[in-house]
Structure 1
C-alpha cells in the first residue's frame, strides 16, 4: 500500500491518495477537523474502499482534484506505486477475507 498526504485546498483539510494492492484500487481520503471533537479528524470524503473501485491513477486523481492542488508528477508516482506491487499476492487469510467480502 502506498499513501501520499497532501494539504487540501482548504488548509484545514488533508488529502491522502495512494494504491491499495489487496483491494486492487487507488484511493482518495479527505480528512478535516471534527466539528464536535477537539483535536480529532472527520472523514469528509473517501473513495477506493471497494474492490477495483478506482482502477487507474487517473480515476483517483480526478477525485482528488476537487480537494487538493496536486503535484504534476502524481500520476507517475501512483503508477510506480502500483507497479511495485505486481509481484505480490494475497496471503491465505487475506484471500479468505476477500472471498467473504467480495464473492464472485
Structure 2
C-alpha cells in the first residue's frame, strides 16, 4: 500500500486538512483518500476507496471527492504519479484460482504438458 500526505479542502467552507492521506491499495486495486479525522482521530469525515476497484484512476477519485464537497490539488509531482503509472497492470479477479493463473501463463510449467514420443 502506498500512502502520501496531501491537502484536502472542504469546498463550501474552504477549510483544509493538510494531513490528509492519498494512496493506492494493491489488494483492493483502488486509489483511496482519507481526510478530516475527528478529535479522537478514529473516525474520518472523508474516506474513499474501500471497495474492490472502486477508484481505478486518480481522476475518478477526485470526481468522487468533489461530489461529496471536498477537493484536492491535482497531483502534478512526477515522483508521486510515476509510482502508479509504472505499476504492472496485472489484475487477478476474485473468481480466479491458482490453477487458472498457472495455465494462463505464456509458458506452462514443464509438468503440465509433458511431450511424449
TM-score, normalised via structure 2 length: 0.54
Gaps of 5+ in 1: 91-97
- Of 11, 22, 30, the residue aligned with 1:25 is 30
Residues 12 and 70 from structure 1, CA distance in 2 versus in 1: closer, same or farther, beyond 3 angstroms? Answer: closer
Unaligned runs of 5+ in 2: 10-14, 97-117
- Which SS does the other structure have where 2:62 is aligned? helix
Query: In the comparison of the two structures, how many residue pairs are matched?
Result: 89
Higher RCO structure (Cα 8 Å, ≥6 apart):
1
Find out whether 1:70 has 2:90 as its counterpart.
no
Larger radius of gyration: 2
Please state which structure has a larger fraction of its residues in helix: 1
RMSD: 3.4
Q: Structure 1 residue 49: deviation in Å?
A: 0.6
Tell me the CA shift for residue 64 of structure 1.
Answer: 4.4
Aligned partner of 2:88 in structure 1 is 86
Q: TM-score, normalised to structure 1's length?
A: 0.59
Deviation track 1:36-64 (CA, whole Å, cap 9, x = no partner) reads: x4xx3531111111100001121123344
Q: Distance in 1 between matches of 2:64 and 2:48?
A: 8
